Structure 1
Amino acid sequence: MRSADIWIAGVDGCRAGWIVALVGPDGGDVHVRVLAHFAEILDAPEQPAVIAVDMPVGLPERTGYGGRAAENAVRPLLGARQSAVFSVPSRAALEQTDYREACAVALATSDPPRKISKQLFMIAPRIREVDACLRNNPDAVRRVFEVHPELAFWRLNGGRSLPEPKKVKGKPYDPGLAQRRDLLINAGLPRSIVGSAPPPGAGPDDLLDALACAAIARRLHAGIAEPFPNPPPADRYGLPMAIWA
C-alpha cells in the first residue's frame, strides 16, 4: 500500500459496540461509524494500517498494586484524571462471566489481593473480544495498539492533564467536552467532524474519545508515539502491555 493511500483508525467502546474514527491520508477525510464487532474494524474497506483502541491489549497472569505496569506508568501524568485509568486484573479473572467468580479469581491472582471493579467487569466482553482477535490474527498484532483517551488528550495538551472532566455524575460535562474539542481541532481533525453529533449507539464523549485515539494512531504511523512503560513487557502470548501516546 502506498503511503498516500494509508488510513488510520481510532476506536472506542460504546453502548452499541465500537465507535470508529477512520482518518484518511490527508487528514481531512474522516469516516465515523459504529460497528458491532471489533473484527469488522480490521476488515473495514479502508483497511486501516494503524488501529488505536481504548481497550487493554495484553493481559497479565498476575497483577501487583494498581494493575499492570502500563496503568501505573500513566496515572501519575494525569493528575485529577488518573481515576479514568482502570486497574486491569489477571487474564483468568477477565475470562470469568460471573461477577462473584471474577472477583474470587482476581483476589487469588493479585498482590495485594484486589477484586475486579464492576465498571471493568462490564467491559470484560470487549476486552476478551480484542484479545481473541489479536491472539488469532498475527497481522492484527502489527496494526492494533492500546491507547487511553485521557493520555491522548494529555499528549495533545503538551503533556499537561486536562483540568475539566468530560463527565460529571455520569452525564456529559460541556466545559470538559469543549476543552477536548479544541485540542482535537488544534491537532488537525476537521471541525465539522469534531463538532458533529455522534452516530446512533454512541455518546458525544465516545466520539471525542475515538477521535483522540485517531490522533494517537496518526502519531503511531509517523513513528513519534511513545509506549508507557518503555520498553513494554509482554503477556504469555507475546502481546505488548503498554499504553501509547
Structure 2
Amino acid sequence: DGDRRTVSFHGDIAAALARPFDRAGIDIPIGMTDDGERICDRLARERLRPHSSRVFTGARRWLWREFSDPDKANRDALRRGQTRVSRQLWHLGNKIMEVDAFVRDNAGRDIREVHPELVFLLLNGGVPLPAKKSQAGDVLRRKLLKRSGFREIDRWL
C-alpha cells in the first residue's frame, strides 16, 4: 500500500495469500526436481560464498511423500545416487509440501521463491554479511531493513 509496510502472521499459505496481490515472495523452495538439484540453488550458493550453507538444497517431493523418517529417506537418496537432505531442510518438509501444492493449484498467480540472504546481500551492496544469529549480523540486517523502509522492524521483532 504505497509506502506502508506491515507484518502479519498466518497459519498456512492459503491464509497468507488470501488477500489480493500482484506478486508474492516466499522463503520456501518452489519447483522441486526429482533429484533435488536446482540451478537456482547452485547460483544462490555461488552468490553467497563464503556463506553458501545459508541455502538449503535438495528438496524433493518423493522424500516427504514416501518417508516419515529422515534417516530412511537419506538411505534411499543414497541408494538412488542422490545427496542426502539436511535435518534443517527435512523439518521444513511439511511447509515445503504445503507451498508446493498451493503454487501448483494456483499456477495463474505470481508466486515466487525468494531467499532473504540474497536480498540482504543486495541491500548491503554485494558485501557478505556476518551470521544472522550474531549481534553484528542482527544489527546490520535491521539497519538495512530500516533503510529500505521497514522503520518499525524493531517493534515488530
Alignment TM-score > 0.5, same fold? yes
Instruction: Give SS of 1:161's match.
Output: coil
Deviation at 1:55, TM superposition (A): 0.5
**Partner amino acid, structure 2, of 1:117:** S
Cα deviation, 1:149-194, whole Å, max 9, x if unaligned, reads 11111111222221x1111xxxxx321111111111222x231x22
Indicate the structure with greater helix content.
2
Deviation at 1:105, TM superposition (A): 3.3
Kept after mapping to 2: 8 A contact 1:81/1:150: no
Provide the C-alpha distance between the structure 1 equivalents of 2:122 and 2:24, rounded to a whole number of angstroms.
18
Provide the C-alpha distance between the structure 2 equivalents of 1:145 and 1:181, rounded to a whole number of angstroms.
24
- Give yes or no for the alignment of 1:49 onto 2:49: no
Deviation at 1:98, TM superposition (A): 2.1
Sort the Cα spacing of 1:62 and 1:184 in 2 relative to 1 into closer, same or farther, 3 A.
same
1:124 to 93, 102, 111: 93
Provide the C-alpha distance between the structure 2 equivalents of 1:122 and 1:49, rounded to a whole number of angstroms.
30
Provide the C-alpha distance between the structure 2 equivalents of 1:109 and 1:61, rounded to a whole number of angstroms.
11
Indicate the structure with greater strand content.
1
Among the aligned pairs, what percent are the same residue?
31
Sort the Cα spacing of 1:182 and 1:108 in 2 relative to 1 into closer, same or farther, 3 A.
same
- Listed as ranges, the matches of 1:184-195 within 5 Å are 184-187=145-148, 189-191=149-151, 193-195=152-154
1:97 to 52, 68, 72: 68
Provide the C-alpha distance between the structure 1 equivalents of 2:150 and 2:34, rounded to a whole number of angstroms.
42
Please, which runs of 5 or more residues in structure 2 have no aligned partner? none
Kept after mapping to 2: 8 A contact 1:58/1:131: yes
Kept after mapping to 1: 8 A contact 2:29/2:59: no
Kept after mapping to 2: 8 A contact 1:92/1:105: no
How many pairs align? Answer: 156
Deviation at 1:56, TM superposition (A): 0.2
Cα deviation, 1:19-49, whole Å, max 9, x if unaligned, reads xxxxx2x22x2221111011111213xx222
Q: CA RMSD in A?
A: 1.8
TM-score (norm: length of structure 1)? 0.59
2:119 to 122, 146, 152: 152
Cα deviation, 1:51-107, whole Å, max 9, x if unaligned, reads 1111000000124xxx32111111121123221101124321232322233213322
Kept after mapping to 1: 8 A contact 2:7/2:156: no
TM-score (norm: length of structure 2)? 0.89
